[in-house]
Amino acid sequence: MRIVHISDCFAPRTGGMETQVRALATEQVKAGHQVTVLTATPGSSTSHVDDGVGVVRLTVRTPGDLPIHPRTRTVVTASLAEMSPDVVHVHVGEVSPFAWGGIRAVCGLGLPRVVTVHSVWSPVMRRLVAPMARRWARPPTVVSAVSVMAADRVGFALAVNVHVLPNGIDASVWGPEPPLAHTGVRFVAVQRLAPRKRTGALVRAFAAASTGYPDMHLVIIGDGPARRSLERRVASWGRAEAITFLGRVTPESIRETFRSSDTFVQASRRESFGIAALEARASGLPVIAYGESGTADFISHGVDGLLVDDDAGLARAIGDMGRDSVLRSRLTSNARGKPVEHAWDQVIPAVDELYERAVTAIRLPR
């Protein structure tokens, strides 16, 4: 099958959506498909092959190399007409001008298409996006989102049926490994240090929960614009020894950190899926997260993690996991004993099913 993915962002950018698109495309190549990614993200060349995936960069010079194009529909239409794909898979976030233009191009050509929403649309964005999106969201377009929570919100905004298409992980990379010896109780978070990820709420909750318990330690992996202010805040509290900022590290380093940790923590309320949380759970760590987030799709409260309602609940959950060794042992045993969920060998068939729906929908009379 000839598959084209359309995404505003792609490597060398390393955010969640672009990393997931790259992984999906690579897995599809392994399955024998011919796969190309159309993106507005600049790179070292405008057209190349990466791990068997064709990458076509439709770019113009913009301030800060922003992934936008003033003539998206025109250039995407020309590229798709030349490629003649069997199906087009468009990936959208909350602000995705290149993907929106790509959808219009795909609809104009009458090609089979699947649109996957990778973010949680805020009420403001739903009001802005819905009037435009409803024009293309109706059949024969197949619409999906990465979690039940995200799908519910998209379905409400667009008044269409939305399928759940979860993100995938490599089970051979993220399966449980023997834990590494360490002192105290170690919590770990992997996230971009930006306001939407609520790292400030995380460090406040941890500071409150760990007061008087010097054996509790938090390691935060990731970088972003909020890092310096967070480090200054933690230092001003006198908690620099309890909260460590590692910055951006390799996947191998993340796995090693998971092996020497006891619990994964995620403070984002608007997490559409939580790929790092899934990787942590697959590695055998119990997870603390918000019950209203997409992470609740694969974490069961009191079984392999704790789901909370607010920041006070986040602090209580951290405190419970830090001080209650019986609870920690039970949740860890359950997490390590569960099969890896959303491995690629489970996700790819779900993707294929949506592609077949899209191809069939184009053939139906309207």
Tens of pLDDT along the chain (366 residues)? 999 999 999 988 878 899 999 999 999 999 999 999 999 999 888 899 999 999 999 998 877 777 888 899 999 999 999 999 999 999 999 889 999 999 999 999 999 999 999 999 888 877 888 888 888 899 999 999 999 999 999 999 999 999 999 999 999 999 999 999 999 999 999 999 999 999 999 999 999 999 999 999 999 999 999 999 999 999 999 999 999 999 999 999 999 999 999 999 999 999 999 999 999 999 999 999 999 999 999 999 999 999 999 999 999 999 999 999 999 999 999 999 999 999 999 999 999 999 999 999 998 765
pLDDT at 61: 82
Same-domain check for residues 51 and 150: yes
Same-domain check for residues 88 and 194: no
| CATH number for 211 | 3.40.50.2000
Q: Which domain holds residue 50?
A: 2-168+343-363
pLDDT at 13: 82
pLDDT at 183: 93
In the chain, how many domains are there?
2
Same-domain check for residues 325 and 353: no
Same-domain check for residues 93 and 175: no
pLDDT at 95: 82
Same-domain check for residues 138 and 247: no
Same-domain check for residues 225 and 159: no
Quickly list H helices, the chain.
Answer: 16-30, 72-83, 97-109, 123-137, 148-158, 171-174, 199-210, 227-236, 251-259, 275-282, 311-323, 325-337, 344-363
Q: Are 350 and 142 in contact (CB under 8 A)?
A: no
